[in-house]
Structure 1
Amino acid sequence: MRLKAVIACAALVGLANPALARMEKTTVHSVAVEGNLEGNSADRTVYVFLPDSYDKSKTRRYPVVYFLHGYNSTADQYVERNDFDAALKASGTEAIIVVPDSMTKWGGSMYSNSPTVGNFEDFIAQDLVTWTDKHFRTIPSRDARGLSGHSMGGYGTLKLGMKRADVFGALYAMNPCCQIPRPASSADPKYEGWSVDQALTADWMSRGNFAVATAWSPNPAKPPFYADLGTSGGKVNDLVIAKWAANSPVAMASQYLPSLRRMSGIAIDTGDTDFVRADDELIHETLARFGIAHDWEIYVGDHGNRVKERFRTHVLPFFTKHLKGSTR
């Protein structure tokens, strides 16, 4: 069934503006997210960007680049900031771009499976990929699927790339967060006494602790957060800290070397003044230590000021090189 473009201005100008006509916004129902304890919706906003040739070459099939947004943001915000349709047109990349929304109660799913948050890893790697292959003329194979993302989305790119190498064939992580195992010092006893309302109105870093806990140490028997928060009775819970550390790509890498070696390409970048630079340098060093080929760059910039530019000048050309069917 054909999707409807729901951009208001596109309704006014029709097909006169090809950039707008090539963007479609819809809702995808995820069975994987159903029934989560936080009440996060299983109906997820998804943007799809089609190359200029899509409606001209009716029999041609295309590779797909899936882009994962960062923490405390939505797909709407990333689409507004980063002009994906213009980037696709300017780069000449012959691929479909899919941008799903993974915003949750605490600001982000960490692209992980959790009974508390919902199974967002499965949403991306199963539900969304299946839906995209059904509704668009894709090349339905891993060597024609790329995964990219920024910040939390960069984290998700590396994590899902390791765990779902049967689905994705190339990875580009932009300023990925959360590479270093989360330290015990991040488990603050004060959170034990907080109410849900108090936590929801806290600063984004504090809310990030709840996002991490609900994604990586869920506990359905422990309302109201349905998670182990890192401390118990004011003392650090070593088991919880171990669970958090186990979700670090630096800790995961040695267990997924065959998956990483299957990739046709891996790229990681970070800004020279980025607050996650140390994380990113460590995952680069870890991959290098195990002989995993990858592109690595520290560029002049911070955590987010060059995402729009670099998606056009680096990310899309990377996938043109590494994905099957991405050239004219």
Structure 2
Amino acid sequence: MKYLLFMCLFLSLYNLYAQDNTKGKVIIENFLAPSIQGNHAGEDPMRRITVYLPAGYQETNQRYPTIFFLHGFPDDDSSFMADFALKKLFDEAIFSGKMRPAIIVLPNSHTHFEGSFYTNSALTGNWADFIAKDVVQYIDKKFRTIPDRTSRGLTGLSMGGNGALKLGMLYSTIFSTVYALSPGGINWETYFSLTNPAFKEIEMEKNVEDIIKRFNDLKTTKANYSRNQIFYAILFANLARMYSPNEKKPPLNADLPVHYVGDSMTVNTNVLKKWEDNLPFYMIDTHIDALKTLTALKLDWGRNDNLTWIPVTCLQFSKKLEAYGINHFAEEYQGGHSNRLGGRDGRIYNEVLPFFDTYLKFDEKASVTAKKN
């Protein structure tokens, strides 16, 4: 009887130990971001970062590649982790062999107008530099990364997919491997266009805080954003503050690419040029060499995305890369904006993480012996 009790206790402890050995750890870090500090829009330079450390990180001296996962609009790192149960997904992917152990970093790039679009702005702060300089340097200093571009990857959803493409072009000396999930706002099309009536609504608004309030009300109803004018109003207001800031133009403190006199619209070509300089589709023209240095580049999208401009513009982006002879992967799948991403049958588990396992450089010669006490 004692032997049986001993064996039950032993097996219980063994199972608990084995389970713990398959689970990574999530750490929340906060640091003062130099690239956001001193901005003119009141954005908080004290930024949060969610860091996933793989199982075994604490017990060895091994160094790991780093994947930077960029959240979408209007999310942040915390909601993004929760929505897709990413911690569990990362654990299962590593335990099952879908991906070797890696450090995964989710920076919080949420702003007062719901998102940074990973863009340097004279008004709101330098959000591209925040990721490529501040966050990378902080993570390399604090954790056992492999501090080399060949071991750094970028991925993200929607606004985050836009950011992954943009930062991959701007900082190809920092990152080597890019996977963009349903990247949003990469080119003009359908509702993401100059003719969207949301531009007129923004121009007529005397207090832009009302746009934010109405959008917050919209979020609580879990409304479909795809054709909702309030969604586009805050989206375009946000982009103006990122792409064409102008503190001499209150209350938005930015220029819009279109101007209305009554119902008559005219295009401000100078402002439009500033916007298109920040849209990844147009950025290809001036970043061909950088794109060709990437180890691997992929974008994918759901054919039934309710943001109907995303499938069209993703295909346009891929065709333009192809015309320039830039090697990449592009895939359309049966799904919407995000409904096929999570879970063990989703694309993060089956496509994104294996992609980085294939193309990032892992430190195969690193010591994996236990740390000395």
Same-fold call, TM cutoff 0.5: yes
Which residue of the partner structure matches residue 289 of structure 2?
258
1:326 & 1:90 partners in 2: Cα distance? 21
Aligned residue identity for 1:172: Y
3-state SS of 2:112 partner: coil
Aligned residue identity for 1:264: T
> Is 2:339 the partner of 1:305?
yes
> Is 2:329 the partner of 1:295?
yes
Give 1:236 shift.
3.0
**Runs of 4 or more consecutive aligned structure 1 residues displaced over 4 Å after TM superposition:** 16-21
> Is 2:195 the partner of 1:185?
yes
1:134 & 1:270 partners in 2: Cα distance? 35
Give 1:17 shift.
5.2
3-state SS of 1:307 partner: coil
For the aligned residues, what is the CA RMSD? 2.1
Which residue of the partner structure matches residue 321 of structure 1?
358
- TM-score, length of structure 1 as denominator length: 0.90
> Is 2:30 the partner of 1:23?
no
CA deviation vs aligned residue, 1:190-229 (integer Å, no higher than 9, x gap): 3222112222123222100111100001112222221112
Change (3 A) 1:22 1:99: same
Of residues 134, 137, 142, the one that matches 2:144 is 137
CA contact (8 A) 1:217 1:228 kept: yes
1:215 & 1:117 partners in 2: Cα distance? 7
CA contact (8 A) 1:320 1:327 kept: no
Identity across the alignment (%): 33
Which residue of the partner structure matches residue 78 of structure 2?
76
CA contact (8 A) 1:319 1:326 kept: no
Unpaired segments of 5 or more residues in structure 1?
1-15
Of residues 152, 165, 183, the one that matches 1:176 is 183
Change (3 A) 1:139 1:21: closer
1:106 & 1:327 partners in 2: Cα distance? 43
Which residue of the partner structure matches residue 255 of structure 2?
228
Aligned length: 314
CA deviation vs aligned residue, 1:260-316 (integer Å, no higher than 9, x gap): 111111110000101211111111111111111111111110001122221111111
Aligned residue identity for 1:117: T
Give 1:54 shift.
1.5
2:125 & 2:29 partners in 1: Cα distance? 20
Which residue of the partner structure matches residue 11 of structure 2?
none
2:256 & 2:56 partners in 1: Cα distance? 50
- TM-score, length of structure 2 as denominator length: 0.80
> Is 2:198 the partner of 1:198?
no
Unpaired segments of 5 or more residues in structure 2?
1-18, 215-229, 366-373
Aligned residue identity for 1:320: D
1:76-155 map, 5 Å: 76-92=78-94, 93=99, 94-155=101-162
Give 1:89 shift.
2.0
Tell which structure's C-alpha radius of gyration is larger: 2
CA contact (8 A) 1:125 1:167 kept: yes
1:204 & 1:233 partners in 2: Cα distance? 20
CA contact (8 A) 2:71 2:77 kept: yes
